[in-house]
């Protein structure tokens, strides 16, 4: 079964990412992808 991927906004804490990962999701934050401050279309 494939895991759902979740991309969190830059104002969400790393603890949110860790919580989702422990629940079985692929999760990261916009800042992890170097997109901090980018507009919604880019993200």
- Local structure of 18: helix, strand or coil: helix
Tokens of 20: 């989702």
* Residue 39 falls inside a structural domain: no
Q: Which pLDDT score, from 0 to 100, does residue 2 have?
A: 82
Q: Which pLDDT score, from 0 to 100, does residue 16 have?
A: 96
Q: Output the pTM of the full model.
A: 0.76
Residue 37 neighbours by CB distance under 10 Å:
9
> Model confidence over 12-31: pLDDT tens digits?
999 999 999 999 999 999 99
| Mean pLDDT, rounded, of the chain | 91
Q: Which pLDDT score, from 0 to 100, does residue 43 have?
A: 83
* Residue 36 falls inside a structural domain: no
* Residue 15 falls inside a structural domain: yes
Q: Which pLDDT score, from 0 to 100, does residue 31 have?
A: 92
Based on the structure, what is the number of domains in the chain?
1
* Residue 37 falls inside a structural domain: no
Query: Domain limits at 14?
Result: 1-31
């Amino acid at each position: 079964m494939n895991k759902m991927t979740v991309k969190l906004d830059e104002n969400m804490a790393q603890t949110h990412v860790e919580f989702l990962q422990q629940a079985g999701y692929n999760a990261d934050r916009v800042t992890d992808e170097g997109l901090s401050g980018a507009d919604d279309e880019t993200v």
